[in-house]
Amino acid sequence: MSSWIDGVPSQSLSLSDRGLNLADGHFTTMLVREGEVVLWPLHRQRLSQACSRLLMAEPDWSQVEATLAQATSGQQGLMVAKLLFTRGEQGRGYAASLNQPPRVILTLHPYPVHYLQWQKLGIRIGVADFVLGNQPALAGLKTLGRTEQVLHRAEVDASLADELLALDVQGRILETSAANLFLCQDRVLLTPSLHRGGVAGVMRQHIVGLAPELGWQVVIRDLTRPDLDRADAAFISNSLMGLVPVTELAGRALAVPAALRSLQEALA
């Protein structure tokens, strides 16, 4: 793994960093294809919005982009870049100096190649027993506090499914362990409302913006278990996997219609 801290190559981080001690920060994970960061404007927008909501000043974007360019230049094939902002070093307690520019940490990783197989063959999705809490103030953000997702992922790994849907405490569907869900009914895409919890992914945003141009209507609303039974088809998405079709949803076999493959190709 290669890493940069505030634009300088480094493999070490202070033990006093608030990201380490308090999960005080946020991040985004980006696909790098042939040395180019895919959907960078949307990732930058997500980071900017999270800074505002978490009372952080924005970083020096010219330095961030220069570091990204340095890290990804000459990379062949597919890679993963993770850009992480913390509130830096400000002491042990919860009290913080707000609206200060963040510490910027960039890491570069190999691409998870099983996503390529998922894209072709589809995956089986069940429903997790582990539920996620609601916190509207942080809903949609990709904060550093990911303990719920770690426990959710442990349940996925112990199951026979490739992924599991997470519900909130009221039984509303939010997401899988690392991706957003879309249900298909005719030419309508249904995706869960995330104003109480969950992560609003960059690929989800891209799909919501692009789908109408390709003849799909998009509806964002609360989804529950009965909505799974009414779906004609389904897929999950994130920035790394793109669009992955679902071939089994909560025990029910699903077809992968040609229209869904066309949408997958358009996103690719």
Catalytic residues, by residue number, are 29, 142, 175
CA distances from 258 to 120, 194, 235, 252, 262 (A): 13, 28, 13, 19, 6
Where residue 157 falls (left for φ over 0; alpha for ψ -120 to 50; beta otherwise) is alpha
Which DSSP category does 13 fall into?
Answer: -
Q: Is 56 exposed, middle or buried (0-12, 13-18, 19+ CB in 10 A)?
A: buried
CB count in 10 Å sphere of residue 141 = 20
CB count in 10 Å sphere of residue 95 = 8
